[in-house]
């Protein structure tokens, strides 16, 4: 707890960072003007956690639990993070995937208290002054979205602010990035969703989306303002439409400290699944042939990351790209197709046009299918059976989320493949019992990747974020599996271990940052001291004393 705090009385109780509710000591209550403002009992943190657990147990719907926890975050930040860390497997699906999707859909209807900064077209020319009003002057992480492609739900406009808020909570809960250094931002350029424009409780601009030069000028102004006001800040782009996601990453990645989680984070967590699967298939990434269902920014990001891994294993760029195929709403992505979008062109290969996904599998004979279509039930029985017919251990990765958008369920993948599938999904499925075996579905979600990468950037004050950092994170994640977990054919560790795993990942990425010369702090003398550096920077959700 920072000792410089001078808040007192009701003002102190209303400040979520410093509020301890009933855990203030008698002396603190006397010195800080809290006498009479709290019940008499002096509570422990464990007692407060138990009260929250009791209250949550009476809520049957996850969206109601989401709202309750959001209110807790707004009231008592320390208790909120103490709760999340106490049981990540229980609480992360509530504060993020899959519940955050429903929360975004209902954002204007469940809104309680503002959090972060909202920038709109009306703020052109004033972005720096608006950001300057933020009370924290040392912002290290900004997650920004324009709400155009929220999860698999589409254009949600201002409702998409739930994503930056949720992502930043994961930075703290998973990897220990201190919450005071974080800032969620929404860039409001309108929405093309009629239901929102006609919703009386919608909180954003009521106009169609603006694009082109006006849009780009607004993003440029934001980037420049951040560099001037928060020079040690890393910017995470989140849930932008495909054409913006790819082009903005290429525009800024060599100039400022930034990354796109949908491209690089999704690519890295998928690569981790491939690295883990090598134990059971005997295939390196460079020996796989991958067919993507969906050809947007997520598919592009995953393909780019897998090709990067293949090149590290000795393939030439052209050889690596030849192993990645894409299938979109028009069919197999092939050379010669009219009006082929620029971000799909690197993965358009010579092949006769096909409009059937099953026929594409039979022709290309992929070892893995990756679903990033944001459309449910497209990995049909016929699709999975086709993969099982040509592969002893097919990789079935339906990565779209939330749950309503998944290409197939874990139970379907195991049953239709006769237990042969190596399965990972964008959301967490329960254990599956089939033919006398117990299968543990993996969750290939970005939450495994961006928090530890972010912690490494925070600890080293890195000037850039690179694809190599994400690939190191992927390899480290795959290497965290225990012998017992490998015997169960798991692709990822259980979420209950995510905090410990994230610390090891952050240290590995930090080591690379030092090796590549991107750090702005002095490197420790020995490699084993790097993890100590990371741990020394981590936030721990425990109350401190106000008594100096």
Task: Give 83-141 pLDDT, tens digit per residue.
Answer: 999 999 899 999 998 899 999 999 999 999 999 999 999 999 999 999 999 999 999 99
Pick the CATH number of 9-86 from 1.25.40.10, 1.10.3720.10, 1.20.1370.30, 3.10.20.30: 1.20.1370.30
CB-CB contact of 492 with 424 (8 Å): yes
Token couple for 304: 């780019």
Provide Rg for the chain, Cα atoms: 24
Domains 264-444 and 448-536 share a fold: yes
CA distance 197 to 181: 34
99-240 has CATH 3.40.1080.10 classification: no
Edge to edge, the sheet with strand 368-371 lists 331-332, 324-328, 290-293, 368-371, 395-398, 422-425, 442-443
Q: Is 96 known to be catalytic? A: yes
Predicted local confidence at residue 414, as pLDDT:
97
What is the overall mean pLDDT for the chain?
A: 94
CA distance 458 to 519: 10
The helix-helix angle for 450-460 and 498-515 (nearest 10°) equals 50
Predicted local confidence at residue 298, as pLDDT:
87
At residue 1 the predicted structure's pLDDT band, cuts being 50, 70 and 90, is very low
Cα torsion through 344, 236, 519, 255, rounded to 10 = 60
Between the two ends of the chain, the Cα-to-Cα distance in Å is 11
Question: How many C-beta neighbours within 10 Å does residue 485 have?
Answer: 17
CB-CB contact of 333 with 325 (8 Å): yes
Pick the CATH number of 264-444 from 3.40.309.10, 3.40.440.10, 3.40.50.720, 3.30.230.10: 3.40.50.720
Residue 169 parent element (H or E): helix 162-175
The helix-helix angle for 77-86 and 62-75 (nearest 10°) equals 140
At residue 343 the predicted structure's pLDDT band, cuts being 50, 70 and 90, is confident
CB-CB contact of 145 with 91 (8 Å): no
**Cis geometry, peptide bond prior to residue 420 (ω within 30 degrees of 0):** no
Token couple for 249: 């990453």
At residue 428 the predicted structure's pLDDT band, cuts being 50, 70 and 90, is confident
CA distance 16 to 18: 6
CATH of domain 448-536: 3.40.50.10380
What is the domain partition of the chain in residue ranges?
9-86, 99-240, 264-444, 448-536
The torsion angles phi and psi of 331, rounded to 5 degrees, stand at 115, -160
CA distance 520 to 122: 36
Task: Give 5-36 pLDDT, tens digit per residue.
Answer: 579 999 999 999 999 999 999 999 999 999 99
Q: What is the mean pLDDT of residues 460-476?
A: 97
At residue 3 the predicted structure's pLDDT band, cuts being 50, 70 and 90, is very low
Annotated active-site residue in 18, 80, 81, 96 = 96
Q: How far is CA 71 from the centre of its chain?
A: 22
Q: Which of 299, 352, 294, 289 is nearest to 320 (CA)?
A: 289
CA distance 183 to 142: 5
Predicted local confidence at residue 2, as pLDDT:
47
Token couple for 395: 């990789």
Annotated active-site residue in 167, 171, 181, 308 = 167
Q: Is 532 known to be catalytic? A: no
DSSP-derived pairing of the beta strands 331-332 and 368-371 = unpaired
Task: Give 374-418 pLDDT, tens digit per residue.
Answer: 899 999 999 999 999 999 999 999 999 877 889 999 999 999 999
- Greatest extent of the chain over all pairs of C-alpha atoms, in Å: 80
């Amino acid at each position: 707890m920072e000792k410089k705090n001078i808040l007192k009385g009701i003002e102190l109780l209303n400040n979520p960072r410093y509020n301890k509710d009933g855990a203030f000591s008698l002396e603190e209550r006397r010195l800080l003007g809290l006498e009479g403002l709290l019940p008499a009992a002096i509570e422990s943190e464990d007692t407060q956690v138990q009260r929250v657990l009791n209250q949550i147990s009476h809520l049957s719907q996850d969206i109601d639990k989401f709202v309750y926890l959001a209110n807790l975050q707004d009231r008592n930040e320390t208790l909120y993070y103490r709760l999340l860390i106490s049981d990540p497997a229980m609480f992360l699906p509530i504060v993020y995937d899959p519940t955050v999707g429903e929360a975004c859909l209902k954002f204007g209807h469940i809104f309680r208290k503002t959090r972060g900064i909202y920038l709109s077209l009306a703020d052109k020319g004033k972005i720096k002054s608006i950001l300057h009003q933020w009370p924290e002057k040392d912002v290290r992480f900004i997650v920004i979205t324009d709400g155009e492609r929220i999860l698999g739900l589409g254009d949600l406009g201002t409702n998409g602010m739930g994503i930056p808020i949720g992502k930043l909570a994961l930075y703290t809960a998973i990897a220990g990035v201190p919450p005071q250094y974080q800032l969620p931002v929404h860039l409001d350029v309108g929405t093309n969703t009629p239901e929102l424009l006609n919703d009386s409780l919608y909180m954003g601009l009521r106009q169609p989306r603006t694009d082109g030069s006006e849009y780009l000028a607004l993003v440029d102004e934001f980037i420049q303002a951040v560099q001037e006001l928060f020079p040690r800040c890393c910017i995470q782009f989140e849930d932008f439409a495909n054409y913006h996601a790819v082009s903005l990453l290429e525009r800024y990645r060599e100039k400022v400290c930034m990354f796109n989680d949908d491209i690089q984070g999704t690519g890295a967590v998928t690569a981790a699944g491939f690295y883990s699967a090598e134990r059971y298939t005997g295939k390196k990434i460079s020996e796989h042939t991958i067919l993507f269902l969906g050809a947007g920014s997520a598919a592009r990001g995953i393909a780019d990351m897998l090709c990067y891994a293949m090149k590290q294993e000795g393939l030439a760029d052209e050889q690596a790209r030849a192993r990645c195929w894409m299938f979109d709403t028009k069919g197999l992505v092939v050379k010669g197709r009219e009006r082929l979008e620029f971000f799909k062109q690197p993965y358009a290969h010579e092949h006769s046009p096909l409009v059937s996904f099953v026929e594409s599998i039979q022709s290309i004979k992929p070892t893995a299918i990756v679903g990033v279509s944001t459309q449910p039930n497209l990995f049909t029985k016929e699709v999975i059976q086709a993969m099982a017919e040509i592969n002893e251990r097919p990789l079935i990765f339906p990565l779209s989320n939330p749950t309503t958008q998944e290409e197939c369920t874990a139970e379907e993948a195991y049953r239709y493949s006769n237990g042969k599938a190596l399965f990972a999904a964008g959301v967490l499925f329960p254990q599956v019992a089939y033919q006398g075996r117990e299968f543990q579905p993996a969750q290939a979600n970005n939450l495994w990747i961006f928090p530890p990468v972010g912690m490494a950037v925070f600890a080293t004050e890195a000037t850039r974020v690179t694809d190599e950092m994400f690939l190191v994170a992927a390899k480290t994640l795959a290497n965290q599996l225990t012998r017992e977990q490998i015997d169960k054919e798991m692709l990822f560790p259980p979420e209950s271990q995510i905090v410990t795993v994230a610390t090891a990942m952050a240290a590995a990425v930090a080591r690379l940052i030092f090796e590549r010369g991107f750090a702005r702090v002095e490197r420790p003398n020995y490699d084993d001291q790097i993890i100590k550096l990371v741990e020394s920077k981590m936030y721990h959700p425990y109350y401190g004393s106000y008594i100096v």
